[in-house]
Structure 1
Amino acid sequence: MDNKRYLTPDIGRGFMLLLIAVAHAPLFHKLIEGVNEPAISDQLFKAFVVTFVDGRAFVTFSLLFGFGIALMVKRQLDKGISVNESKRLLRRRSLFMILFGFTHQVFIGGADIIAFYGIAGLLIEGLIFKSKRFKEKALFVIGTLSFLTISTGWWFLSLFKELSEEANVNYLEMVIENVIAFPITVLVQLLFFPFLFVILLGVLVERKTWISHPEQHISKLRKFALTGILISVIGASPLTAITVGILNVSEKILAALHIFQILTGIAGGIGYTSLIALFGIAATKLTPKITNWLTAIGRRSLTFYLYQEALLVILLSPVAFGLGNKLGYTGIILTAVVIWITGVIIAVFLEDKKVPGPADALLRRLVYR
């Protein structure tokens, strides 16, 4: 029975937390006006985010989440836990994740994905215990439905002009609006993005040992990394050109390019995961410190996801310090990077003291009590 922690998921989650912070920080820039004409650095950062981060970071995180669920269930069954008990534990975990996500979005004000992961856990609960063939059929069905909902959803949005929103200026307004927005957010994540498909893909990948034992699949992982990232970059390039002002297109074409960027992000997530797996093979020898830093924060991903989101809201939102109104795009991105670095420092300290992340520990305690 193999109960050790694998490097690839921890390294992947640790690095993806950086990209998630970078992806979420510009949300405050979009909501708040008053920033001068973008500098060259702003344009470069925008190009980087659209090409390498948007629709890629959360796909990678979702793939690793699906892998983690499958591995957790496998280890429970290996320990002699019954299928019914394993289902019950997965259900409890999913329900508490929904509660964590609701608390995060409503009371912290961050851009939440935790609740969706909880709902995804409930949706695929029965599938995890089915045969490989059944799961592959389910993957095809979910993939087809995702393609249809993503395509029609973004096309439908293109029929409406973007409504300008005023940022919340006080905490009570934020809480009230987020209570209303919470179910809408989850529905958008389910219908307008391929997260559920990718999570189930991660469940299937667990059986392949590409993530758990990447040293056995080096050649294949190299092909996945190169091909996946290349497709991802090509798929994002038109939207990148529009974002930085090189191209100007109609709303319908823009919607089509959004769809293209999102769908090719699946290949990007596979490519990123493969690249991280390859990095993990040599990382312990070549860059042991960096490996330790990434695994320290990756093992406490729930805690530091909440930590990052809270600091982004406190620093950038008008609910608190409102720096998003003053820093510009480059400053906002650099703020996100600094927040992630402080998280790494705290995570390494906790790792040295053998202390788990508080939120991660609380979730485990609630599930297994």
Structure 2
Amino acid sequence: MTTQTLPAVDHRGPVRSKERALAPDLIRGAMLLLIGLANSANFAFAGQPGVESAPHGLERVLNFVKLTFVDARAYPVFAVMFGYSLVQLARRQRSAGATPGAVRRVLLKRNAWLIAFGLVHATLLYFGDFLGAYGIVGIVCTLLLINRSDKFHRIIVGIWVIEALYVLATGAKAVVALLNSSGPAHPLVNEPNPSLAATSYGASLIDRLQEYPLHTATVLGFIMVVWLGIWAARKQILENPAAHRKLLSWVAAVGMGITVLGGLPLALVGAGWMHVDESAVDSVNYLSHVSGMFGGPGYIALFALLVSRITKLSLPVRAVSALGQRSLSGYLFQSVSWMVLLAPFTLHLRFGSTAYTAFFCAIGVWVVSVIGAYVMSKRSYRGPAETLLRRLVY
């Protein structure tokens, strides 16, 4: 009698629906609304942060909400979730019997294709792409972080503690700047992006080719946010949020406390409810930026706590989760929508003021994407971008 040795598994295919945890999908689907609010405003105002410089009436409220809860606070959520997904993908490959080398190859291949997706997205649609940066950071994490020990990954917790202390020091400096403000009042103005103001598609494309590399370089520092997601995934916090409720409560309170308080002074200036000089505006703007990264773990912890209390999957939860499962398609669909609806050389829609236009477009596009994702889920269709990426990787 002879025995036959089965070949080692090279890799397994993409995750199946029954293997998915609710929390990550719900988080991604819901947070695409905040991404939409940020990016639609950038398109509408042809610059950043995408707020009305001289707000009146409800424009003040929109500016305030956007600067407190959205700007610099939405993208860190996806950075944490990206790190989380790296570990989930590696774990699924290993559990299926894939060799360490095969796991590494799948991760490297997937992240290399994300860089390619990002280049196409940034060239054709929107310079403010994050896919390429995710791909670059994903390759770095695959080579340097994924296979490290739990003891090594505790470093990132210490880094975030140091960062929190730095935000507190920055906040103290901002308070001093506000108290010492004595010059003429300086309103919050948008920094223009030529590609968003271009009057032809060809001109916008050329501008994006110049803007995209710089934007990507400026956001690569979020590797520290991605690393936090890697740490959380190793603990499997989102797979079983009820078992980590105490930790999640602390993270939600601290994370959202820092990010909201850090954004509050700039939001008051942006809403026209606080008038300070240019130096003070620069100080509170920097405070808003550095405190925004805490919105990543803060928002995720809030949604995880919500999931821990969900006993029945209602239609809205299933629909938003369906979008989260197709977040890549949802993200790209938004950029196509902004180009069609808001660019000067396309429909260039306006509903009253520019702030109202950005807000209504963001809400409308997100709702359409939720409905579309739910229809796809009922037909067991992954989504066009996800299908293409999986075919390229697997």
TM-score for the superposition, normalised by structure 1: 0.87
The partner residue of 1:22 within 25, 34, 37 is 37
Is 1:228 aligned to 2:255, yes or no?
yes
1:177 aligns with 207
The answer to which structure has the higher helix fraction is 1
Q: Gaps spanning 5+ residues in structure 2: where?
A: 1-14, 171-188
Match of 1:115 in 2: 132
> What secondary structure is seen at the aligned counterpart in 1 of 2:310?
helix
Equivalent runs, 1:138-177 vs 2, <5 Å: 164=192, 167-177=197-207
Separation in 2 of the partners of 1:143 and 1:346? Answer: 41
How has the CA–CA distance of structure 1 residues 210 and 129 changed in structure 2, closer, same or farther, with 3 Å as cutoff? same
CA RMSD of aligned residues (A): 2.8
Alpha-carbon contact 2:342-2:349 (below 8 Å) kept: yes
Q: CA deviation at 1:37?
A: 5.8
Q: Which amino acid aligns with 2:25?
A: D
* Equivalent residue in structure 2 for 1:105, among 102, 110, 122: 122
In 2, Cα distance between the equivalents of 1:76 and 1:163? 44
Q: Does 1:188 align with 2:203?
A: no
- Residues 223 and 314 from structure 1, CA distance in 2 versus in 1: closer, same or farther, beyond 3 angstroms? same
**What does residue 9 of structure 2 align with?**
none
Uncovered stretches (5+) of structure 1, i.e. residues with no partner: 152-160
Paired residues, number:
352
Matched with 1:364 is 390
Q: Distance in 2 between matches of 1:120 and 1:69?
A: 11
Aligned counterparts of 1:40 and 1:366: Cα–Cα separation in 2: 50
Structure 2 partner of 1:158: none
Residue 336 (structure 1) aligns with: 362
2:152 is the alignment partner of 1:134 = yes
**Larger Rg: 1 or 2?**
2
The corresponding residue for 1:263 is: 290
Give 1:353 shift. Answer: 0.5
Q: Which amino acid aligns with 1:185?
A: H
After TM superposition, the score normalised by the length of structure 2 is 0.82
Identical aligned pairs, as a percentage?
A: 29
Measure the CA separation in 1 of the matches of 2:69 and 2:148: 35
Residues 159-308 of structure 1 aligned to structure 2 (within 5 Å): 164=192, 167-191=197-221, 195-285=222-312, 288-308=314-334
Residue 173 of structure 2 corresponds to: none
Alignment check: 8 A CA contact 1:297 1:344 kept: yes
- Corresponding residue number in structure 2 for 1:155: none
1:66 pairs with 2:83? yes
* Deviations 1:12-40, CA, capped at 9 Å, x for gaps: 0000111100011111233289x896331
- The residue number in structure 2 matching 1:10 is 25
1:323 partner SS: coil
Alignment CA distance shift 1:24-1:164 (3 Å): closer
Write out the 4+ residue segments of structure 1 that deviate beyond 6 Å after TM superposition: 141-148
Change (3 A) 1:325 1:188: farther
Shift of the 284–170 alpha-carbon distance from structure 1 to 2, 3 Å rule, reads farther
Q: 2:54 touches 2:272 (CA, 8 Å); kept in 1?
A: no
Distance 2:276 2:256 in 1: 25
Counterparts in 2 of 1:196 and 1:101: CA distance versus 1, 3 Å: same
Q: Which moved more, 1:275-284 or 1:98-107?
A: 275-284
Could you say what secondary structure the match of 1:176 adopts?
helix
Aligned-partner residue type, residue 272 of structure 2: G
Return the offset for 1:222.
2.2
Q: CA deviation at 1:215?
A: 1.2
Q: Is the 8 A contact 1:128 1:135 kept in 2?
A: no
